[in-house]
Amino acid sequence: MGEIDPAFIQAIEHRPNLSGVEAGGIPLIDLSLLSTHSLEGYCIDHPQTISDLVEEIASASKDWGFFQVINHGVQPDLRRRVETTAKEFFDVPLEEKRKVMRDEVNPLGYYDSEHTKNVRDWKEVFDFTVDDPTVIPLTPEPDDQRLRQISNQWPDYPTDFRDACEEYCRAVEKLSFKLLELISLSFGLPAKRFNDFFKDHTSFVRLNHYPPCPSPHLALGVTRHKDAVALTVLAQDDVGGLEVKRKTDGEWIKVKPIPDSFVINVGDIIQVWSNDRYESVEHRVVVNSERERFSIPFFFNPSHYVMIKPLEELVDEEKQPAKYKEYNWGKFFSTKKLSNFKKLYVENIQIIHFKISE
Ligand code: OGA
Ligand code: NI
């Protein structure tokens, strides 16, 4: 990626105005209590310390849809190792990376924007699933019950790439379950209320590489979007570029890199489960002309057969009727994967399509 190709230039409405605000920022939450306290069987009334933490998670999820966590239990050296080998991987010649390129059959592996018709985003990517193989529907067709397995594609070099990625994702998987339990408690539900939905989870990890961009005011690393997932647990390096749309006034707020922290955001699935108590918030990535940037989102997703709908406990026919019709996660996921491939400028499937009009 050298000179900016006209195809990358964002439509006027999507252009970054680069006015992201530094002040305030998303809440920072210390999870050190989790290393000494179990959430299982925990009751919201006691002990006080956990209920304070649950309260922090509730306010951050409600007010921002985003927060950062520190003292989360993921060892910094696991993260360092995956960051180092990811950088080595992206440095190999394109012909090598193409050997593990994703295609219409296997959505996992390497891709860059030029080669997947995705001319919107100034980045290259490597995707792998946490459970390998992962089972998803064969096609997005609602009546087609057939399933298929998708398997990770690993490059020969760097030699410890696969090990580093696998070890890292197991640690982040543990953290994701703890966050899910905290979120469940924050609705006044038992800690493990959501866990059954994740028995054969379809979570995946994305290694993002954003090269320096010669015209950062004309392109974005990732255009504005919401994550269709349950939760995202993102590691970003010290360069910065992630911006979150503040709910109160729609300003783009920069997410300040904090060493070894993770940025957490509530995705569309939690928005539906919670019947809009929490909202999945828009975010984007701006690029710069000086420094390349790396980030690693872990997208925490339920099993393909889970039907997503507002939780019974959070619905009340009279006062809080369900705001969404149910949808099948696997079908939604495969429709989305396919539309990424086939028809970029056609509207993607969104939870709004399942909204019950009021
Ligand atoms: C994403 C995303 C943010 C980042 O991949 O969905 O929002 O900082 N990434 O890379
Ligand atoms: Ni995102």
Q: What is the pLDDT of residues 236-273, one digit of tens each?
A: 999 999 999 999 999 999 999 999 999 999 999 999 99
Burial 134-148 (b: 16+ CB within 10 A, else e): bebbeebeeeeeeee
Strand stretches in the chain, DSSP E = 28-30, 66-70, 109-112, 124-129, 134-137, 147-150, 204-210, 222-225, 231-236, 242-245, 252-254, 262-266, 283-285, 293-300, 307-308, 327-328
Specify the pLDDT at position 42: 60
- For ligand 1, whether the C-beta of 231 sits within 6 Å is no
Q: Is residue 53 included in any domain, yes or no? A: yes
Give the tens place of pLDDT for each residue, 199-208.
Answer: 999 999 999 9
Q: Is residue 1 included in any domain, yes or no? A: no
pTM value is 0.92
For residue 339, pLDDT beyond 80 = no
How far does residue 9's CA lie from ligand 1's centre (Å)? 19
**Average pLDDT of span 105-115:** 84
Which residues, at least 6 apart from 121, have a Cβ–Cβ distance to it below 8 Å?
Answer: 113, 220, 221, 222, 223
What range does the domain containing 132 cover? 6-354
- DSSP code, position 228: -
Q: Given the CA of residue 123, which atom of ligand 1 is nearest to it?
A: 10
Specify the pLDDT at position 346: 43
How far does residue 37's CA lie from ligand 2's centre (Å)? 30
- For ligand 1, whether the C-beta of 236 sits within 6 Å is yes
Q: Is residue 55 included in any domain, yes or no? A: yes
Give the tens place of pLDDT for each residue, 161-178.
Answer: 999 999 999 999 999 999
What is the CATH number for 168? 2.60.120.330
Are 339 and 349 a contacting pair, CB within 8 Å? yes
What is the pLDDT confidence band of residue 8, given thresholds at 50, 70 and 90? low
How far does residue 225's CA lie from ligand 2's centre (Å)? 6
Indicate the number of domains in the chain: 1
